[in-house]
Amino acid sequence: MDLKGKVAYITGGTKGIGYGVAKVLMNQGMKVAISGRYAKTAQQAAASLGSSDNVIGLASNVAVLEDEIKAVKQIIEKWGHLDLVLANAGVGHFAPIDELEVDKWKQMIDTNLNGAYHSLKASVEALKDSKGYYITLASLAGTNFFANGAGYNASKFGVVGFTQAAMIDLRKYDIKVSTIMPGSVSSHFNDHQPSDSDAWKIQPEDIGDLVVNLLKINPRTLPSKIEVRPLRPDKK
């Protein structure tokens, strides 16, 4: 598939994985909308990626359905169609379940799980029109549970299940649906600051390359759940 002129929407695209994927997609000739919770931050990130003809920054809190509906409407008004949605926005708080605060539990569910639903709900009619692609950015934490991860595990296990069920619902419209489940990624997740010590990890651009491969695979084939991890974690 020639990706030139195709339109993508990436939530949580102002830095980290979302920003790296946006960069790769733009190098393929795609037009990209990235969103973040704050308009100024999203617009600054978009400006650093390229001209307003090819990239825009939008304010949207994925936990709010109306925000996502507005974001998709703005994309359609600017470019006329929408071919790819990457539900990437996510947060993580880690503590034993007896110490995990209620507001942090709710934030993870609202952002990671409800946010994925809101992004699809807002865009599904546009994706029907384009026979497009909806991808969630889950995690290996969506299949592997661990201590201090009850809230994060719950949200990501939910994202994986939601995405796989949505795939079955939507493929009759020729919409592709996949979930990408990375292990350790060099990103700003959980206030991490990437550095040279993260060289062993998956890089955001690697996820971008994976998204491109999914878009270019023969349309008869659907990799619905993709686990990806660093080759050499022993190098950390």
| pLDDT, tens only, 184-210 | 888 766 566 777 788 889 999 999 999
Name the pTM for this structure. Answer: 0.95
**C-alpha distances in angstroms, 184 versus 48, 194, 227?**
26, 12, 11
For 10-38, what is the mean pLDDT?
97
For residue 192, the model assigns a pLDDT of 66
How much is the average pLDDT of 5-17? 97
- Spatial distance between the Cα atoms of 135 and 181, rounded to a whole number of angstroms: 11
Residue 30: exposure state from Cβ atoms within 10 A (0-12, 13-18, ≥19): buried
Which residue in the block uniquely carries the two structure tokens 């409800």?
A: 114
Strand order in the sheet with 55-59: 55-59, 31-36, 7-10, 84-87, 133-137, 176-182, 225-228
| Contact (CB, 8 A) for 165 and 116 | no
* Residue 160 clears pLDDT 70, i.e. is over it: yes
Predicted confidence at residue 235, as pLDDT, reads 80
Which pLDDT belongs to residue 188?
Answer: 66
**Pairing of β 133-137 and β 84-87:** parallel
In this structure, the number of other CB atoms found within 10 A of the CB of residue 67 comes to: 21
pLDDT at 186: 81
Distance between CA atoms of 95 and 109, rounded to whole angstroms?
A: 15
How many other C-beta atoms can be found within 10 angstroms of the C-beta atom of residue 106? 13
pLDDT of residue 233: 86
Where residue 153 falls among pLDDT bands split at 50, 70, 90?
A: very high
d(C-alpha 216, C-alpha 201), whole Å: 25
pLDDT, tens digit, 9 for 90 and up, residues 134-152:
999 999 999 999 999 999 9
Among residues 155, 152, 148, 156, the alpha carbon closest in space to that of 98 is found at 148
Average pLDDT for 148-157: 98
